Amino acid sequence: MQLVELLNRIPVIESHGENNREVSELVFDSRKVSENSLYIALRGTVVDGHSFIASSIEKGAKTIVCEEFPENLDENITYIKVKDSAKTLGHLASNFYGNPSEKLKLIGVTGTNGKTSVSTLLFDVFKNLGYDSALLSTVEIRIGEEIIPATHTTPDVITINKILAKAVEKGCEFAFMEVSSHGIAQNRIEGLTFKIAGFTNLTHDHLDYHKTFDEYLKTKKRFFDGLNENAIAITNVDDKNGNVMLQNTKAVKKSYALKTMADYHGRTLEVDFNGMLLNFNGKEFWTTLTGKFNVYNLLLVFGIASELGFEQDEILQAISILKRVNGRFETFKSDGGIFFIVDYAHTPDALENILDSINDIRTKNERLITVFGCGGDRDHAKRPEMGNIASKKSTLAIITSDNPRTEDPNQIIKEIEAGVEPQNFSKYTSIPDRREAIKMAIKFSEPKDIVLVAGKGHENYQEINGVKHHFDDKEIINELWQLMSK
């Protein structure tokens, strides 16, 4: 692609060198530069890409986009000075791949909990409606039937545009994308045109990265502030931060709720471990998904599909045949009558939601045994909070390891234990080895009891001292149950 086309609609402060240059690819990692690459120098928290301009030129880069020119300019190289390289990268990537987000109806879902579930459920609903779509989520990236392994919550903006361009090429009309706070903060959605932005909720998470809740909230809000007047913003008004998201947006404002008046209103009529009878905007339907958080997830799916012009009866029919999202309230009953639930809940709010959902369903004749932990090298403040929630809302809470990463699992457990209130001291125990913790839960349980294993959900590994070891909660439960029931 010609450089002059790439720079379309991009504000340039100053340029030096030939503008009519051919660009073979966009690169922000100097190690990946090849002949005729355009190298974008990004300022990172640890490394400044401006330090690698010379080595990029040696490897074949002919165009450099940067925030300040090097001292010595090479006459054979084109230098483009911009105010913010990270933001410019998004617009360059969009232009390079033919602005694919403008050719699709791109739907972004953000919030603390429910992003993956809603994005995946939307993909599945639209498949049920007869449409091939693209999905960009934590768990997987899909273009129709093709599955691409996911490596980040929000991929880099070059990868996003590459995937969206492929979706356009394959005839997709819709793309559903999980939008993380990290992705927003790091400008990974810059230059994308969203048709609809959905907000799930905002609770305590990622404060290791954002430092304060206010900064976390402002980062999420940036997504909605960046929407244009042709977009639609749909928010959960039962969450106190729901309306905050809409304060400065140019988008058309829509709402959904269970407790208050909204454009899309839902009610739970019946609920058990097999599913729920729900009422959305006066229409009843059954779903195999269960739990209050799933009512919110499905209501947002219903609202988004409605805003995209589909008939509500048609949407509800597509929702009613949905299967559960991998690792989200996945349930299975052992032949010994014990009910197992595996869920990704790894924040205080998510853990409380799933425990409340289970307690709403159970008759209290069964005991609820919860196995959970907290990830290492992440937000410390949520640990005692989760210890308090689990011990208060379970018959027995077994505190164990999640992904300790580079931290000592015993230290993480101590921080979780600090939140347990004195009246609940007899309701918890700690076993650092996750396999042994699950084993104890099975050993302690009796027919009809409920065992919740929370925190990892779809993940099939445990990260210890920087090494990923294979570990799948569902596999471990099945394996231990078979061994222990012989």
Annotated binding site: 30, 111-117, 153-154, 180, 186, 188, 378, 402-405, 455, 459
What's the rounded Cα separation, in Å, for the pair 291 and 359? 10
CA 67 to chain centre: 31
- In contact, 302 and 312? CB cutoff 8 Å: yes
Q: List residues forming the annotated binding site for meso-2,6-diaminopimelate.
A: 378, 402-405, 455, 459
- Of residues 172, 284, 290, 296, the one with CA closest to residue 234: 296
Sequence-separated (6 or more) residues with CB below 8 Å from residue 363: none
Structure tokens at 77: 């190289």
What's the rounded Cα separation, in Å, for the pair 100 and 242? 29
Edge-to-edge strand list for the sheet holding 14-16 = 14-16, 78-81, 63-66, 37-40, 25-27
Any idea which residue has 């993956």 for tokens? 116
Sequence-separated (6 or more) residues with CB below 8 Å from residue 388: 419, 420, 421, 424
- Burial of residue 219 (number of CB atoms within 10 Å: 0-12, 13-18, 19+): buried
**Phi, psi torsion values for 208, nearest 5 degrees:** -65, -30
- In contact, 322 and 350? CB cutoff 8 Å: no
Kind and range of the H or E run holding 269:
strand 264-272
For residue 271, the one-letter residue type is V
In angstroms, what is the C-alpha Rg of the chain?
Answer: 24
Contacts 24+ apart (CB under 8 A), 457-462: 457/326, 457/327, 457/328, 457/330, 457/342, 457/343, 457/344, 457/345, 458/139, 458/326, 458/327, 458/328, 458/344, 459/327, 459/344, 459/403, 461/403, 462/401, 462/402, 462/403, 462/434
Longest Cα–Cα distance of the chain, Å, equals 80
Enter the DSSP assignment of 238: T
- In contact, 329 and 291? CB cutoff 8 Å: yes
Q: List residues forming the annotated binding site for ATP.
A: 111-117
Structure tokens at 146: 């093709």
